[in-house]
């Protein structure tokens, strides 16, 4: 029989589930993501990898990946998991930066990593997963970290040309909460915190000039390039780390074999997503360069180095924000030095 997890879409229904755990055992798993419904990444996982979880477990496990804010606000997924409203999340760690600066450092070490493969290795074998679990144990009881990582260097959409750090001055830029917003502020921009689902409207209405806003393929799927004609590719910061978590109750209900299968499934799914997203990004960039409607900007290395220098100061300042932030910073730095990134 398939493992079924607790799920609902309202706080009222959550109380019913908690009161009636026996009935909840028959429900399908609900995992809220940080992807819009139109995103290439969400479609790829749902089409290619969600079915494979059942195959890998001989029908013992199934999963349903939901778009951002389809059940609860994006910042509230850990609480919803603890309460049994959600079964898990596959979402940006940046959303929880308000709890502790450690989440900001864990969520995206701006300008720190060069490839999503480095990020995946940091999480899997460089201490990242264990550090993230420590953060959840401190703030969100009952949340188990299955894995974490990234699938793409984010692109950047802009209505104006941004050819270097100096061009950021005065621009209203949609940036993730926490460290990303701080780095752009230090670079002279005016960061604006918005969910990805509101980025298109904000660009269209002139609320923002540019946005640090997901992979090139996702931006294309959302129509961003219809109104933002000067995308930066590759993007100018690192990449967000997404967490894959389930409730502790769900995790403990699985056999050791299925726990291992879920971890393996996540690693394989994200390895596939990295390859597919990179290929799709490059295909779309080539198409758009040939069409000539967009001006695709790739910063020179000296400009990327300038932003990196600004970011490193922000890393250190955030690390001073709490003991857990210092520990998260040290975990990153130790891995990066080992890999020659620092």
Evaluate whether residue 23 is within a structural domain: yes
Q: Are 216 and 81 contained in the same domain? A: no
Same domain, 133 and 103: yes
107 and 210 both lie in a single domain: no
Q: Is 218 inside any structural domain?
A: yes
Q: Verify that 303 and 247 share a domain, yes or no.
A: no
In a shared domain, residues 166 and 188: yes
Better pLDDT: 14 or 309: 309
CA distance 85 to 79: 8
The CATH number of residue 326's host domain is 3.40.190.170
How is 293-308 classified by DSSP, letter by letter?
SS--B---HHHHHHHH
Residue where a domain stops, chosen among 279, 307, 330: 279
In terms of DSSP H, where are the helices of 190-255? 199-205, 216-221, 248-253
Percent of the chain with pLDDT over 70: 92
Of 65, 287, 284, 43, give the one whose Cα is nearest residue 155.
Answer: 284
Domain housing 84? 11-152+239-279
Same domain, 165 and 251: no
Contact assessment for residue 139 and residue 78, using Cβ atoms and an 8 Å cutoff: yes
Is pLDDT of 13 > 70? no
For residue 19, what pLDDT is reported?
37
* Cα torsion through 14, 101, 123, 327, rounded to 10: -120
Q: At how many degrees (to 10) do helices 116-125 and 128-139 cross?
A: 70
Q: Which has the higher per-residue pLDDT, 138 or 36?
A: 138
Residue 312 and residue 172 in one domain = yes
Compute the average pLDDT of residues 17-43: 70
Could you tell me if 5 and 60 are in contact, meaning their C-beta atoms sit under 8 angstroms apart?
no
State pLDDT tens for residues 116-151. 999 999 999 999 999 999 999 999 999 999 999 999
Q: What confidence score (pLDDT) does residue 18 get?
A: 38
Domain count, the chain: 2
């Amino acid at each position: 029989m398939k493992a079924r997890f607790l799920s609902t879409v309202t706080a009222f229904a959550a109380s019913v589930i908690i009161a009636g755990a026996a009935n909840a055992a028959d429900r399908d798993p609900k995992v809220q993501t940080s992807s819009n419904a139109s995103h290439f990444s969400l479609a790829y996982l749902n089409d290619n990898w969600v079915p494979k979880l059942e195959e890998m477990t001989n029908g013992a496990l199934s999963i349903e990946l939901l778009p951002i804010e389809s059940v609860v606000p994006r910042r509230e997924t850990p609480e919803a998991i603890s309460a049994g409203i959600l079964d898990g999340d596959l979402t940006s760690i940046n959303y929880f930066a308000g709890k502790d600066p450690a989440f900001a450092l864990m969520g995206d070490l701006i300008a720190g990593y060069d490839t999503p493969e480095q990020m995946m290795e940091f999480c899997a074998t460089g201490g990242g997963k264990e550090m993230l679990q420590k953060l959840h144990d401190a703030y969100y009881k009952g949340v188990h970290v299955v894995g974490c990582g990234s699938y793409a260097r984010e692109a950047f959409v802009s209505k104006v040309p941004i050819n270097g750090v100096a061009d950021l001055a005065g621009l209203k830029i949609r940036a993730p909460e926490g460290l990303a917003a701080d780095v752009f502020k230090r670079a002279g921009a005016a960061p604006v915190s918005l969910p990805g689902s509101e980025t298109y409207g904000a660009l269209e209405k002139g609320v923002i000039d540019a946005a640090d806003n997901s992979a090139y393929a996702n931006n294309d799927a959302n129509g961003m390039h219809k109104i933002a004609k000067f995308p930066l590719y590759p993007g100018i910061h690192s990449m967000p780390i997404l967490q894959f978590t389930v409730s502790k109750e769900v995790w403990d209900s699985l056999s050791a074999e299925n726990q291992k299968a879920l971890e393996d499934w996540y690693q394989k799914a994200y390895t596939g997503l990295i390859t597919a997203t990179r290929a799709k990004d490059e295909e779309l960039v080539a198409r758009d360069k040939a069409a000539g409607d967009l001006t695709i900007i790739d910063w020179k290395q000296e400009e990327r180095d300038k932003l990196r220098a600004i970011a490193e100061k922000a890393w250190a300042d955030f690390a001073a924000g709490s003991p857990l932030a210092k520990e998260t910073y040290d975990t990153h730095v130790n891995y990066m030095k080992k890999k020659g990134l620092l």
